Structure 1
Amino acid sequence: MRRSTTATLALLVVTAIWGSTFFIIKDAVNLIDPIDFLAVRFAVGAAIPAAIFWRRLRRLTATQWQIGLALGGLYGLAQIVQTVGLQTTAASVSGFITGTYVVLTPIIMWIAFRARLNARTWAAVGLALVGLAVLSLTGIGGGGVGEALTLVGATLYAVHIVLLDRWSRSMDTMSLAIVQLIGVALTAGFLGLPGGYHVPADPGVWGAIAYTAVVAGIVTMLLQTWAQRHITPTRVALLMTFEPVFASAFAVGFGGEAVTLRLIAGGALILLATLLGIPGGQAGPADDVPLIPAPEGADTPPPPPPVINGDRQEGDSL
């Protein structure tokens, strides 16, 4: 089997794992406070790679630590908002709304840095908005709080991607990924302090913590790092659009959610917007092309720094 084919299959496995986390986390946060869940999950997810790669971390400067922790803190806030929203949002819907960060990223670039947007990007934004309305609105002027929080989380992910592109170019990507994980753990840990941490002995909760920290965190990070070395950024971006599709499939197949016309129509519109937002053409691995459309995007000039998104670690890093 050609290496590029193997890499493509590996990245599909990664997106499937990411998609599976939505219904798993939703079940877990019915039994545990979302912030407590994230604090323990990212403490585990940060401690393991930090223990393995501690020599790399020792070589970082104070400024690099500040950058990594700041990015991790922002990502941690996005995780908290998204996970709280997931308590009252169907996992399938959450997957599609979270995926809108792909089209929100160029909007953030436009607002913050006056980046030029073409007609294709604006069309993608319009489609995404219609898809969000179909998924979220429950009547004229209505809408769910959980869906709104999920959209806020997606916006924070987009801001994180933009800042990652601006701040991380001179930093070792493996170390940056680990420091960001530490930043997420510290953020969730700090916000969880007031009420103390309460982790039930339920094996399902601990299974969700282990799965999201190790399989959806460390394992996918390693798989994606290897895969992105052997396929183009454009193909990577296209494969990543399957995450919300997998999220819905797992939610319906294992989470007991129903397939509704609203889910099909709204999800299809958002998926189409995501595909439209990805720039066409062929890009070589060494090209200075963002990983995702101005993109999931601003994610990265070479080498692409990791973005820990949704339940993913994105980037050519570990």
Structure 2
Amino acid sequence: MPASPSPLLRWADLALLLVAIVWGTSYGVAKGALAYYPVLGFLAVRFLLTTALLAPVALRGTTAAQRWGALRKGLPLGALLLSIFVCETYGVAHTPASRAAFLISLCVVFTPVAEWALMGQRPSRAVWMCVAVSLCGALLLAGGWQGGWSGGDALMLAAAVLRALMACATARAARHVSPSAAPGAAPVPVLLLTTVQSAVVGLGTLAMGWALLPQGLPPLPTWAAASGFWWATAYLVLGCTVFALVAQNWALKHTSPSRVGLLTGTEPAWGALFAVAWLGESLGPQGWLGGALMVGAALWMARR
């Protein structure tokens, strides 16, 4: 008889489902904000504000060894996160939303493969079954596949691969103890690791904006002229960045990357529900069935 899941595993699964829900809403919210400001500048504002909010709390009571450990682990993870957000944001701008939803959900398939290759942990048959059901649901949600490949499609596919690598890399960083660490040394706090990642994305997109945009970054929109931009930014900073990154980094200490990929892979389904409820978009019977399969597969795996 299989052992009952631990309470921490259940909380980790719940946290990851909440991450998927808030990330699903982020596409519609971000599109509204991008009407006021360029992609790279918007990402810089979002993640630098996140860093400013997290840093005072994250640094309190930490030791020099913990800060060095956070830098050593957080810089490469932050570079991965930077690549993910740049690929996703530009990809959504250059491909239909249905295709973007399908392609980004392929991280559900890539994560068990990456976990097997990078961490030597072979996923169970139940995980592969849930992956197959979730993939079928994503295809139904996307309405099938029509037309050839575009640059936006390639960016979304790259983001899905990077998400799978990110899940494995974060899990390994959260669990790995450096051989050079002193015996009994305190582990790197999750909040401090998240702060370093946010700083890398914020500073990286800021530098890219000034270097790559022909006229550099324009002045920030004012509250009077673009209050919608700042409301959207506040939601994305507090919900989709601070909460989501902290919750995902914490959950990866208590669950496997494959479960993370499966649970957060329901993001397109929640995004579709948000589009119907908030943005007034329509979703046919095929789309509802696809979303139900994705969410059902994730909930079944979480219950197991």
Could you tell me the TM-score, scaled by structure 1's length?
0.68
Deviating more after overlay: 44-53 vs 114-123: 114-123
2:285 aligned with 1:249: no
Write the distance in 1 (CA, Å) between the matches of 2:94 and 2:285.
Answer: 20
Write the distance in 1 (CA, Å) between the matches of 2:139 and 2:125.
Answer: 21
Amino acid at match of 1:49: L
Write the distance in 1 (CA, Å) between the matches of 2:94 and 2:158.
Answer: 14
Equivalent residue number for residue 45 of structure 1 = 50
Write the distance in 1 (CA, Å) between the matches of 2:116 and 2:19.
Answer: 30
| Superposition map of 1:175-214 within 5 A | 175-194=192-211, 195=213, 196-198=216-218, 199-201=220-222, 202-214=226-238
Equivalent residue number for residue 286 of structure 1 = none
Write the distance in 1 (CA, Å) between the matches of 2:267 and 2:116.
Answer: 25
- Would the alpha carbon gap of residues 67 and 225 (structure 1) be closer, same or farther in structure 2, given more than 3 Å must change? closer
Q: Following TM superposition, where does structure 1 have runs of at least 4 consecutive aligned residues deviating by more than 6 angstroms?
A: 221-226, 236-239
Equivalent residue number for residue 181 of structure 2 = none
Equivalent residue number for residue 88 of structure 2 = 82
- Within the candidate set 153, 157, 174, 2:191 is matched to 174
Deviation at 1:159, TM superposition (A): 0.3
Equivalent residue number for residue 54 of structure 1 = 59
Write the distance in 1 (CA, Å) between the matches of 2:30 and 2:114.
Answer: 28
Amino acid at match of 1:252: V
Amino acid at match of 2:217: Y
Equivalent residue number for residue 18 of structure 1 = 23
Contact persistence 1:77–1:187 (CA under 8 A): no
Amino acid at match of 1:40: V
Write the distance in 2 (CA, Å) between the matches of 1:160 and 1:263.
Answer: 28
For 1:255, what is the secondary structure of its paired residue? coil
Equivalent residue number for residue 258 of structure 1 = 282
| Amino-acid identity (%) | 28
Deviation at 1:186, TM superposition (A): 2.4
| Cα-to-partner distance string for 1:229-277 (whole Å, 9 max, x where unaligned) | xxx969x96976764443222112222322134533443444455456x
Equivalent residue number for residue 105 of structure 1 = 111
Unpaired segments ≥5 residues, structure 2: 1-6, 178-186
Deviating more after overlay: 110-119 vs 29-38: 110-119
- Within the candidate set 64, 68, 71, 1:65 is matched to 71
Write the distance in 2 (CA, Å) between the matches of 1:25 and 1:38.
Answer: 10
Contact persistence 1:131–1:268 (CA under 8 A): yes
Amino acid at match of 1:77: S
- Would the alpha carbon gap of residues 16 and 250 (structure 1) be closer, same or farther in structure 2, given more than 3 Å must change? same
Deviating more after overlay: 254-263 vs 171-180: 254-263
Contact persistence 1:100–1:128 (CA under 8 A): no
Larger Rg: 2
Equivalent residue number for residue 161 of structure 1 = 167
Write the distance in 2 (CA, Å) between the matches of 1:273 and 1:124.
Answer: 5
For 2:283, what is the secondary structure of its paired residue? coil
Deviation at 1:15, TM superposition (A): 5.1
- Would the alpha carbon gap of residues 85 and 137 (structure 1) be closer, same or farther in structure 2, given more than 3 Å must change? farther
| Cα-to-partner distance string for 1:70-92 (whole Å, 9 max, x where unaligned) | 10110111011111122245667
Deviation at 1:161, TM superposition (A): 1.1
Aligned length: 270
Amino acid at match of 1:197: L
Going by fraction, where is helix more abundant, 1 or 2?
2
Equivalent residue number for residue 123 of structure 1 = 129
Write the distance in 2 (CA, Å) between the matches of 1:279 and 1:245.
Answer: 17
RMSD over aligned Cα, in angstroms?
A: 3.9
Equivalent residue number for residue 304 of structure 1 = none
